[in-house]
Amino acid sequence: MFSNKDITQFAELETPFYYYDLALLQQTLESCAEAAKVHGFHVHYAMKANFNDTLLDSIKSTGFGADCVSGNEVKKAIERGFNRQQIVFAGVGKSDKEINEALDENIFCFNVESVQELEVINALAGKKNKVAKVAVRINPNVDAHTHHNITTGLDENKFGVNAWDLPACAEVLKKSPFLEFIGIHFHIGSQITNLEVYKNLCLRVNEFAAWFEDRGFIVRMLNVGGGLGIDYHNPEQQIPDFKAYFKIFGDFLEKRANQEVHFELGRALVGQCSSLISKVLYVKNGKKKNFIILDAGMTELMRPALYQAYHQIENISKQSSAATVKYDVVGPICESTDCFGKEVLLQESERGDLIAIRSTGAYGEVMSSHYNLRENVRVTFSK
Ligand code: LLP
């Protein structure tokens, strides 16, 4: 629910824009930090979810590290003041340039996704006479029970080293003087709401950790990735249940003394703190369907077009009246998939009404594009 003060603030601004509620972000971060502390777990923020500077500054101040997936994300994390010893660099296709730059910055760790990548990092680190800390990302073949486009931990996915490649991996690690193995890494998918999935992941992590130990490796770190989902159908349910989430890992990981457990959360930290605020440009009442045409489109928020993702839509100019009309809520882009929701029950709407598309803090602003030569996406923050 938006207050009258929010709506007055919105009415003065040019639409569309992302609105960020910084107080809610702060509460979410604190709730996560507190729940992680109980178990002594380390949290890295998955920057890909949103690399807006203002958000990054709050996240860094909470003491979280940064999980980066490109050289530019590594640079951005350093620029925003994240501690280099809390920066990890993951990604299935790191270029030589990106690896070299990360080596120069002495980041904490590379999450390595193939045997060949281990060889490349060893060679590049050798040229600099440096030792790179590495964790092996293993594909555990655990079903995340989420949308197939955001599942990453199955045999058919491109991510991580498959179990059958681990012997080759161990061999390369043993003969590479410029690599220091520190642990194993997993990430099985995103928007995971069934916590049972994480229990299955823990059991696989235990097996893989034992596999490495049996071969003489010391597994100093277990990185279990991110993926904790948010409630898109109920954006007022603002803070995910971090306690229950971390408890699963506390209960089922066979943690060794002095072993660190790392997490890479993105969506759960920033997803609910934002809405995309847009205006109704036109209302078309047809025989079969009614359309609301917004000034925001898939260029601002791509998730519905790309994954048929659900985002709650509200007419915030008419909050007090009853919702009685079904509309297809669409954008101005020349694509049929440019649709935020079909048959959405809303108050009778008119040109100029403000429409909020909720839960857009993660993978919203960062996935916007210039298609149709659209303007840069605007943002505003809670006062
Ligand atoms: N760690 C790794 C290795 C990842 O690939 C990801 C997300 C994360 C952590 C953070 O996951 P999270 O906690 O945010 O679920 N654009 C899609 C989501 C793609 C997720 C990519 N990887 C969406 O809009 O749903």
Domain locations in the chain as residue ranges: 4-17+272-381, 22-271
Ligand 1 atom at shortest distance from the alpha carbon of 111: 3
The per-residue pLDDT for range 6-32, each reduced to its tens digit, is 999 999 999 999 999 999 999 999 999
Q: What is the rounded (10 degree) CA torsion for 62, 68, 73, 78?
A: 50
Residue 154, pLDDT > 70, answer no
- Whether domain 22-271 has CATH 3.30.70.100: the reply is no
pLDDT of 149: 67
Residue 125 alpha carbon to ligand 1 centre in Å: 28
pLDDT of 320: 86
Query: Residues lining ligand 1, CB < 6 A?
Result: 46, 48-49, 67, 90, 150, 152, 187, 190-191, 225-228, 264-268, 303, 307, 362-363
pLDDT of 297: 98
Residue nearest (by alpha carbon) to ligand 1 atom 15 = 227
Average pLDDT, integer, range 167-174: 97
Residue 227 alpha carbon to ligand 1 centre in Å: 6
Identify whether the C-beta of residue 66 lies closer than 8 Å to the C-beta of residue 47: yes
Ligand 1 atom at shortest distance from the alpha carbon of 264: 9
pLDDT of 151: 65
The per-residue pLDDT for range 246-277, each reduced to its tens digit, is 999 999 999 998 999 999 999 999 999 999 99
Ligand 1 atom at shortest distance from the alpha carbon of 363: 24
Residue 267 alpha carbon to ligand 1 centre in Å: 7
Average pLDDT, integer, range 36-62: 98
Residue nearest (by alpha carbon) to ligand 1 atom 5 = 187
Residue 383, pLDDT > 90, answer no
pLDDT of 157: 74
pTM flag (> 0.80): yes
pLDDT of 369: 97
Residue 189 alpha carbon to ligand 1 centre in Å: 7
Q: Report the residue among 32, 44, 48 best suited for mutation to probe ligand 1: largest number of ligand atoms under 8 A from its CB.
A: 48
Ligand 1 atom at shortest distance from the alpha carbon of 268: 13
Residue nearest (by alpha carbon) to ligand 1 atom 7 = 190
pLDDT of 111: 97
What ipTM goes with this model?
Answer: 0.99
Residue 236 alpha carbon to ligand 1 centre in Å: 22
Average pLDDT, integer, range 41-49: 98
Residue nearest (by alpha carbon) to ligand 1 atom 23 = 363
pLDDT of 186: 96
Distance CA 82, CA 66 (A): 7
Q: Report the residue among 190, 191, 197, 308 best suited for mutation to probe ligand 1: largest number of ligand atoms under 8 A from its CB.
A: 190
Residue 380, pLDDT > 70, answer yes
The per-residue pLDDT for range 176-232, each reduced to its tens digit, is 999 999 999 999 999 999 999 999 999 999 999 999 999 999 999 999 999 999 999
The per-residue pLDDT for range 70-108, each reduced to its tens digit, is 999 999 999 999 999 999 999 999 999 999 999 999 999
Residue 150, pLDDT > 80, answer no
Confidence of residue 1 (pLDDT cuts 50, 70, 90): confident
Average pLDDT, integer, range 49-66: 98
pLDDT of 155: 67
Both tokens of residue 249? 């890992």
CATH class assigned to 4-17+272-381: mainly beta
* Residues designated as active site: 334
pLDDT of 153: 59
Ligand 1 atom at shortest distance from the alpha carbon of 265: 13
